[in-house]
């Protein structure tokens, strides 16, 4: 298969050794001997028309006619007449009948470039041709038959256009029988300098001059450019450098002087906020989500710190002196436990101080001794027992009030605020539940 692809590249003048390019070529070769519809996708300037010529040139229709039509270049009012023909007097200016492309190229191949620009009414006529091979001239009533193979191409996302009702869904699936994705030039960096050399040689042969070359640093600059215009842009730059270069070995400095835009990098940026109300609102929502995430992370970190200290206390582990520990305020869920030490500012601070303490007290030959947690005499967990959770509103309310009073150490005003009720209601509930 590799030798076959190499022969196809030489026949159609394709330069490159990228695996993505070879995959697209392999799909084109395999589908060429069928009459299936093909949808070629890719950015502008990647060479989609070359792939349509490969499919036609290797098919059974290769001895018949081939035509490439840019759907975006034909006015909306005349595209039906161009494709399907018209009768005399069908519209103003129709002084005689005219054959359309589907009638003139019967038995051949029609390449519809920029298919996404085709009007919706023309799409319905094209769908009928794909399904039954039938069409009607503009202004006529007689149904005619045609046998053409349709290859379509687009640089737009047709599926998104289907969602926006700018492209017929049934036509999209009818065209997309065999999709071929032509890779962008930035995705095949190994081919960039090969293509540059090819264009430079072609230009030198045309004007009978010596072709320009690039040094190693200039090649790196060339390959690191994003190439928004793809192969078409690369060809223009090769010709531009061929004209401007006095020395045929071009350095990176000379290259950037001739083509300043080659230093541009399409990196992501933070969009400006506040320009529109909807953008500002979206930005505020993102900020709120970010702040909430940071608060939740802080709470989780505090819980982790308290867990570490409980493990230390319950397992009788030695810790540094209190004066060596940078402490923070304990989290609310542990404030009622007076015997739980305050959390560290960072667990890593504790581990560092702990190892320093160990180094001072223990002999050097015991530094690598693993820590063994002695669980003898410590409180162990009793076997758990599944208890059915009470769904009583009264019991849950009583439990919440009890927890709020413990949390705020009996301060009823703060407990009422935490529960979201008035102080008077809290007094009544305390009396009701005998708390």
Q: Is residue 383 part of a domain?
A: no
- Domain boundary (121, 150, 183) is at 183
Q: Is residue 128 part of a domain?
A: yes
Q: What is the pLDDT of residue 272?
A: 47
Q: 157: domain CATH number?
A: 3.40.50.300
Stretch (H or E) spanning 159: helix 158-163
**How much of the chain exceeds pLDDT 70, in percent?**
76
User: For the CA atoms of 194, 200, 201, 202, what is the dihedral angle to 10 degrees?
Assistant: 110
What residues in the chain have per-residue pLDDT under 50? 267-279, 322-347, 350-351, 354, 357-358, 360-373, 375, 377-378, 380-381
Alpha helices (H) along 185-339: 192-207, 216-224, 230-244, 252-258, 277-314
Same-domain pairing of 221 and 324? no
Q: What is the pLDDT of residue 333?
A: 43
Q: What is the pLDDT of residue 270?
A: 45
- Domain boundary (234, 263, 292) is at 263
Query: Which residues are 109's β-sheet partners?
Result: 66, 149
Q: Distance between CA 20 and CA 14 in Å, rounded?
A: 13
DSSP-derived secondary structure letter, 46:
S
Closest alpha carbon to 432 in 410, 406, 402, 404: 402
Q: What is the pLDDT of residue 428?
A: 83
Q: Is residue 272 part of a domain?
A: no
Q: Distance between CA 179 and CA 22 in Å, rounded?
A: 15
Same-domain pairing of 190 and 71? no
Q: Distance between CA 363 and CA 222 in Å, rounded?
A: 61
CB atoms within 10 A of CB 4: 11
Same-domain pairing of 103 and 217? no
Same-domain pairing of 170 and 205? no
Same-domain pairing of 26 and 105? yes
Q: What is the pLDDT of residue 302?
A: 82
Q: Is residue 279 part of a domain?
A: no
Same-domain pairing of 175 and 197? no
Same-domain pairing of 228 and 106? no
**Exposure pattern of 74-88 as b/e (b: 16+ CB <10 Å)?**
beeeebbbbbbbbbe
Q: Is residue 248 part of a domain?
A: yes
Q: Distance between CA 251 and CA 265 in Å, rounded?
A: 20
Same-domain pairing of 229 and 173? no
Q: 405: domain CATH number?
A: 1.10.10
- Domain boundary (183, 216, 232) is at 183
Q: Distances from the Cα of 251 to the Cαs of 127, 241, 259, 416, in angstroms?
A: 54, 11, 12, 76
Q: Is residue 298 part of a domain?
A: no
Q: Into how many domains does the chain fold?
A: 4
Model's pTM, two decimal places? 0.60
Q: What is the pLDDT of residue 1?
A: 56
Same-domain pairing of 208 and 317? no
Q: Distances from the Cα of 152 to the Cαs of 37, 41, 401, in angstroms?
A: 8, 9, 71
Q: Distance between CA 351 and CA 371 in Å, rounded?
A: 13
The number of C-alpha atoms within 13 Å of 358 and in the hemisphere containing its C-beta is: 17
Q: Distance between CA 61 and CA 215 in Å, rounded?
A: 45
The boundaries of the domain holding residue 410 are 393-433
Q: Enter the tokens of residue 304.
A: 């982790």
Same-domain pairing of 197 and 318? no
Q: Is residue 213 part of a domain?
A: yes
CB atoms within 10 A of CB 306: 20
Same-domain pairing of 88 and 140? yes
Assess contact for 262 and 238: CB atoms under 8 A: no
| CB-based contacts of 306, cutoff 8 Å, min separation 6 | 330, 331, 333, 334, 340, 343
Q: 211: domain CATH number?
A: 1.10.8.60
Q: Is residue 275 part of a domain?
A: no
Same-domain pairing of 36 and 163? yes
């Amino acid at each position: 298969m590799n030798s076959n692809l190499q022969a196809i590249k030489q026949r159609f003048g394709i330069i490159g050794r990228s695996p993505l390019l070879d995959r697209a070529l392999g799909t084109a070769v395999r589908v060429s001997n069928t009459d299936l519809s093909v949808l070629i996708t890719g950015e502008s300037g990647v060479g989609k028309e070359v792939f349509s010529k490969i499919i036609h040139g290797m098919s059974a229709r290769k001895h018949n006619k081939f035509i490439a039509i840019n759907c975006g270049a034909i006015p909306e009012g005349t595209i039906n007449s161009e494709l399907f023909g018209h009768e005399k007097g069908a519209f103003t200016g129709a002084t005689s009948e005219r054959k359309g492309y589907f009638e003139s190229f019967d038995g051949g191949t029609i390449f519809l470039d920029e298919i996404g620009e085709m009007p919706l009414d023309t799409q319905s006529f094209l769908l009928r041709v794909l399904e039954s091979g039938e069409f009607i001239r503009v202004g006529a009533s007689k149904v005619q038959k045609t046998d053409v193979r349709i290859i379509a191409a687009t640089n737009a996302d047709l599926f998104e256009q289907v969602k926006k009702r700018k492209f017929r869904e049934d036509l999209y699936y009818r065209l997309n029988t065999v999709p071929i994705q032509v890779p962008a030039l930035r995705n095949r960096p190994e081919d960039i300098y090969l293509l540059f050399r090819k264009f430079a040689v072609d230009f030198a042969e045309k004007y009978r001059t010596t072709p320009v070359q690039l040094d190693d640093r200039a090649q790196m600059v060339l390959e690191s450019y994003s190439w928004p215009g793809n192969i078409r842009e690369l060809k223009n730059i090769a010709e531009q450098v061929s004209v401007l270069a006095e020395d045929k070995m071009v350095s990176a400095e000379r290259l950037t002087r001739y083509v300043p835009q080659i230093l541009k990098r399409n990196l992501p940026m933070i969009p400006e906020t506040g320009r529109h109300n909807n953008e500002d609102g979206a930005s505020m929502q993102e900020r709120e989500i970010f702040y909430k995430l940071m608060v939740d992370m802080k709470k989780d970190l505090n819980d982790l710190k308290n867990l570490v200290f409980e493990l230390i206390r319950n397992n009788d582990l030695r810790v540094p002196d209190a004066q060596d520990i940078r402490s923070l305020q304990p989290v609310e869920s542990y404030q009622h436990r007076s015997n739980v030490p305050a959390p560290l500012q960072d667990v890593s601070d504790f581990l560092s101080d702990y190892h320093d303490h160990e180094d001072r007290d223990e002999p050097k030959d015991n530094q690598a001794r693993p820590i063994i947690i002695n669980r003898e005499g410590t409180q162990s967990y009793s076997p758990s027992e599944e208890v059915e959770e009470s769904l009583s509103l009264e019991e849950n309310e009583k439990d919440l009030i009890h927890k709020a009073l413990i949390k705020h150490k009996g301060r009823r005003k703060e407990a009422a605020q935490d529960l979201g009720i008035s102080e008077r209601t809290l007094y009544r509930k305390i009396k009701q539940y005998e708390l």
